Structure 1
Amino acid sequence: MTLKKLHVAIISSPGIGHLFPALLFGHRLVNHHNLRVTILAVTTNTSPAESKLFNPFTSNLHLSVIPIPAADISSVVAPDAKVLTRICVMMKETVPAIRTTISSMDPLPDVLVGDIFGAETWVIAKEFRMPKYVFITGNAWFTALFAYSPVLDKEVVGQFIDQVEPIEIPGCKPILPEELVDPMLDRDEESYQVHVDQSILVTLADGMLINTWEGLEPQTLHALRDNDIMRSMLKNKPVYTVGPIHKKYEPTGLKGEVVEWLDKQPANSVLYVSFGSGGTISAEQITELAWGLELSKQRFVWVVKSPNKHCVDGSFLNAGQPSGPVDFFPLGFLTRTQNVGLVVTCWAPQVEILNHISVGGFLTHCGWNSTIESIASGVPMIAWPLYAEQKMNATMLTEELKVAVRPEVLPTKKVVGREEVEKMVRGLMEGEEGKAMREKVKALKVGAEEATSMNGSSYISTCKFVQDCVSQIDQYSI
């Protein structure tokens, strides 16, 4: 086994939040650890950005990307089913196509890695006698909650959201009921049981790869590895820190509209505003946010999508498409802010923007990919969580790491008014609190760089994962 190049198959579920880290992790395994990697990307074609992601990764001899169209689940799942339910069913129904693809490979993969939804493919790993590992694209705190959910399901009586006290996780920071992941907010919803079932399935893996690093979450990582209860939940399987996995800034010399505009702005003077590839907000919230940005008199780059008409949270699989900002901005907003703001529809080069010297803050939905990119760029944040585990991420950023400020009431519960927006933006960009956060996030940036450097904690942990894969392969072949 050690004489040939180890072949790892990474299965990614739909959505840029899962696909992009899988591509980047595969790229790192090839370039830094001398592995052969095949990415099996289950795609839905609902996001135009999905297909663009493949291009930079197709030129590597030892990295292959195979798109697999997701199975049609229209006859299996109700149209109004929650995102978690839809993705889990989609992955389960796509297993036969994934199996066919894997069985046609020559040579077969030695190891199977799947994200939390890719765990549906453990049946394939069993059939082909492969070790299986789960790749958590979120952080360790989310991992702890996810793994402990089956215990909470039995111990907590009634709705989690009605609990008076914070939700306890052994060895970890407690979680306020309103900050739990979306499926746990209503136990009567089908997606809640899907969440619990999925958490049990994930813990059957031979190990966990988490997109975090030792210096960012030492308490939680200690709990996952050394707390007796948490070790039991993970069945004493190893936990590997492999983060931060993010796209690194590489100047190309080519400048688009946004970068040319940023070049003309003073250092640390621009607030970047984006709710990610899947985040949308209501028309009323867009109006209040626009007024707040204008009243703050701060420079900004705002990536805008058409508003979500039904709710204030995001839509992971079908984010709103742009219909023209004049349709939902305050009258005259673009004219009044033309000298201090730039509005971009649908998409912007986020990593390039965050690394620009003129950018001094990021108003973000707190998706883990965006959070890592902001930390890796040394940019403090305004935390504006929308869905999934983003409320937990926002809490970590504001209370524990102290590199962000957030609204007093969750944006998913109440429209954030223009006065509060103005106050947060001014505080981040001009206030003493903003300066303190900027210093803290720069220190985290250094720690992130050290973790992935040669002999850094995440590099060493990934080396251990590769070594353990070889040992597991030998055991599975007996």
Structure 2
Amino acid sequence: MVDSTKTHAVLLSSPGLGHLTPVLELGKRLRTLNFKVTIFVVSSPTSAAESQVIESFMSLNLCEVILLPSPDISHVVDPDATVVTRLAVLMRETRPAFSSAISALSFPPTVLIVDLFGTDNLEVADEFKIPKFVYIATHAWFLALTLYLPVLHERVKGEYVDEKNALFIPGCKPLLPEDVVDPMLRRSDQQYLEYLNIGIEIPMADGVLVNTWEDLEPATLAALRDCKLWGDISMVPIFPVGPMVTPPGPIDSNKTEVFDWLEKQPIESVLYVSFGSGGLLSNEQMIELAYGLELSQQRFIWVVRPPAEKKSSDGSFFTVGNSSNAKEGPASYLPEGFLDRTKNVGFTVWDWAPQVEILRHQSVGGFLSHCGWNSTLESITNGVPLIAWPLYAEQRMNAALLAEELKIAVRPKTLPWKGIVGREEIQMMVKTLMVDKEGHAMRGRVKELKSSGETAWNDNGSSTKALAQFMY
């Protein structure tokens, strides 16, 4: 669809590592295929971690990165507005500055790619009369739900979470009401209308790139390509170009201690525990998790962060890396004596850890994760099964995909976003994944998916072909 020898691809990323990281990886992939690439980033003004990622990427000198000033949206949204609302409004308010920045480029753009929250900026492509695409940095099932939401909006009269039956999505696995994405939890909230608007705007693009691959979601991708299934919804070409994951980087000299510890552990014996860049647990849940890990008697690495200060699992989305309690350390939030009692089997890391490098280590055999799609792909591409502990956004949907369709994850019966997962259930899940036959079977399946993800980017692989189709 696009001639790469003459193409200047402009990418637009929303704030947040979950959005920024896959956009940067897409930029790198396009650059290696002879595209000129400019990435515009609407950065979160308080995110130190995000700034570090951008600086590291810019040092590679592969793509031009331009930071757009974060607009003041205090007059548009309430202070307690959800992350989805804030992101959607932020990106919409950025449109004038984005259009001006494109006009100032020395080399005119020939294609525009925006992420999920940038769909209002598709109109900018029309100003410059260039093709426009949306990059969905998560899976095809999520894309299918988003596209079908305008139909569900008309058919479902009450709250989605109150539905008795699973939500129908054409040709796809039905979605249980308790697994809906955050914006669908309450229809009266502004984030629902923002998400609905995204579902309406995506078909206005010339195509959609998705961070998945053919062998991971064959039935869903086939459904998305079957226009007869979708009625009046205008379907656009789908390009599965995943897995897009951050490659391993150099080991930080300040973090070598964790790898020294890993080197002493048996193969596939360690459970890695982390809730991503924005996920937080309540203090009560942290204590239960600590006791559950201790009771399991399994080796673990736990990235411990300060507990949530309010009842919100995504409370640090815009402030990751800037915890006011960072100097206090893990001991202040964990049960008394926990660190001493687990010192022979456990290793705690404060606030941040080199996740990709840890997951690829041969001693790691499981990942207790919030199921953000970046973390999910990092786990799959390293052949590591999961304990699925979703917190917010589309993570419940991701957990359902991992546990029920791909069968590479254990899920708690207690919904983590609704209640406290007790220590006994945590102990059981850890032992199931790390010791029992069920966990070994999951490990075998995820290694097959790892292999298929690698194959997708071979010279004749499905994702290589999809990107080539997008290019021409």
Same fold (TM over 0.5): yes
SS of structure 2 residue aligned to 1:366 = coil
Give the structure 2 partner of residue 237 of structure 1: 236
1:402 pairs with one of 396, 403, 407: 407
Unaligned runs of 5+ in 1: 468-478
Q: How many residues align?
A: 465
CA contact (8 A) 1:159 1:186 kept: yes
Give the structure 2 partner of residue 462 of structure 1: 467
CA contact (8 A) 1:225 1:231 kept: no
The CA deviation at 1:214 is 0.2
2:266 aligned with 1:266, yes or no? Answer: yes
Letter in 2 for 1:79: P
- Of stretches 251-260 and 5-14 in structure 1, the one that deviates more from structure 2 is 251-260
The CA deviation at 1:441 is 0.3
The CA deviation at 1:176 is 0.6
Give the structure 1 partner of residue 385 of structure 2: 380
Cα deviation, 1:258-309, whole Å, max 9, x if unaligned, reads: 2122112111111100000010011000000000001111111111111113
Cα deviation, 1:204-241, whole Å, max 9, x if unaligned, reads: 111000000000001110110014233752x2310000
Equivalences for 1:50-129 in 2 at 5 Å?
Answer: 50-60=50-60, 62-129=62-129
Give the structure 2 partner of residue 476 of structure 1: none
CA distance in structure 2 between the aligned counterparts of 1:97 and 1:362, rounded to whole angstroms: 41
Give the structure 2 partner of residue 19 of structure 1: 20
CA distance in structure 2 between the aligned counterparts of 1:38 and 1:252, rounded to whole angstroms: 28
CA contact (8 A) 1:73 1:90 kept: yes
Give the structure 2 partner of residue 370 of structure 1: 375
Cα deviation, 1:13-67, whole Å, max 9, x if unaligned, reads: 0000010000011001111x21111110110132211111123432455511112
Give the structure 2 partner of residue 360 of structure 1: 365
Give the structure 2 partner of residue 249 of structure 1: 248
CA contact (8 A) 1:170 1:227 kept: no
CA distance in structure 1 between the aligned counterparts of 2:6 and 2:130, rounded to whole angstroms: 15
2:47 aligned with 1:47, yes or no? Answer: yes
CA contact (8 A) 1:5 1:34 kept: no
Give the structure 2 partner of residue 285 of structure 1: 285
TM-score, structure 2 normalization: 0.95
- Of stretches 51-60 and 211-220 in structure 1, the one that deviates more from structure 2 is 51-60
Give the structure 2 partner of residue 226 of structure 1: 226
SS of structure 1 residue aligned to 2:94 = helix
Letter in 1 for 2:235: N
CA distance in structure 2 between the aligned counterparts of 1:347 and 1:252, rounded to whole angstroms: 13
2:434 aligned with 1:435, yes or no? Answer: no
2:165 aligned with 1:165, yes or no? Answer: yes
CA distance in structure 1 between the aligned counterparts of 2:95 and 2:405, rounded to whole angstroms: 40
Aligned identity (percent) is: 51
Equivalences for 1:179-198 in 2 at 5 Å?
Answer: 179-198=179-198
**In structure 2, do the counterparts of structure 1 residues 239 and 2 end up closer, same or farther at CA, with 3 Å as the change threshold?**
closer
SS of structure 1 residue aligned to 2:381 = helix
CA distance in structure 1 between the aligned counterparts of 2:182 and 2:365, rounded to whole angstroms: 31
CA distance in structure 2 between the aligned counterparts of 1:62 and 1:377, rounded to whole angstroms: 25
Root mean square deviation of aligned Cα: 1.7
Letter in 2 for 1:340: V
CA distance in structure 1 between the aligned counterparts of 2:336 and 2:165, rounded to whole angstroms: 45
Unaligned runs of 5+ in 2: none
CA distance in structure 1 between the aligned counterparts of 2:350 and 2:62, rounded to whole angstroms: 36
CA contact (8 A) 2:15 2:42 kept: yes
The CA deviation at 1:200 is 0.7
CA contact (8 A) 2:5 2:34 kept: no
CA distance in structure 1 between the aligned counterparts of 2:307 and 2:151, rounded to whole angstroms: 38
Letter in 2 for 1:144: A
The CA deviation at 1:335 is 1.1
**In structure 2, do the counterparts of structure 1 residues 36 and 62 end up closer, same or farther at CA, with 3 Å as the change threshold?**
farther
**In structure 2, do the counterparts of structure 1 residues 61 and 249 end up closer, same or farther at CA, with 3 Å as the change threshold?**
closer
The CA deviation at 1:401 is 0.7
SS of structure 1 residue aligned to 2:390 = coil
SS of structure 2 residue aligned to 1:203 = helix
CA distance in structure 1 between the aligned counterparts of 2:37 and 2:140, rounded to whole angstroms: 25
CA contact (8 A) 1:281 1:314 kept: no
CA distance in structure 2 between the aligned counterparts of 1:104 and 1:91, rounded to whole angstroms: 19
CA distance in structure 1 between the aligned counterparts of 2:278 and 2:295, rounded to whole angstroms: 27
TM-score, structure 1 normalization: 0.94
CA distance in structure 2 between the aligned counterparts of 1:407 and 1:52, rounded to whole angstroms: 34
**In structure 2, do the counterparts of structure 1 residues 215 and 425 end up closer, same or farther at CA, with 3 Å as the change threshold?**
same
CA contact (8 A) 2:203 2:235 kept: no
CA distance in structure 2 between the aligned counterparts of 1:377 and 1:418, rounded to whole angstroms: 28
CA contact (8 A) 1:287 1:329 kept: yes
Give the structure 1 partner of residue 275 of structure 2: 275
CA contact (8 A) 1:27 1:57 kept: no
CA contact (8 A) 1:276 1:364 kept: yes
The CA deviation at 1:190 is 1.5
CA contact (8 A) 1:262 1:358 kept: yes
SS of structure 2 residue aligned to 1:244 = coil
CA contact (8 A) 1:274 1:302 kept: yes
SS of structure 2 residue aligned to 1:38 = strand
CA contact (8 A) 2:161 2:177 kept: yes
The CA deviation at 1:123 is 2.1
2:419 aligned with 1:414, yes or no? Answer: yes
Give the structure 2 partner of residue 36 of structure 1: 36
Letter in 1 for 2:239: Y
The CA deviation at 1:249 is 3.0
SS of structure 1 residue aligned to 2:204 = coil
SS of structure 1 residue aligned to 2:420 = coil
2:451 aligned with 1:450, yes or no? Answer: no
Letter in 1 for 2:439: G
The CA deviation at 1:251 is 6.4
CA distance in structure 2 between the aligned counterparts of 1:219 and 1:175, rounded to whole angstroms: 15
Give the structure 2 partner of residue 472 of structure 1: none
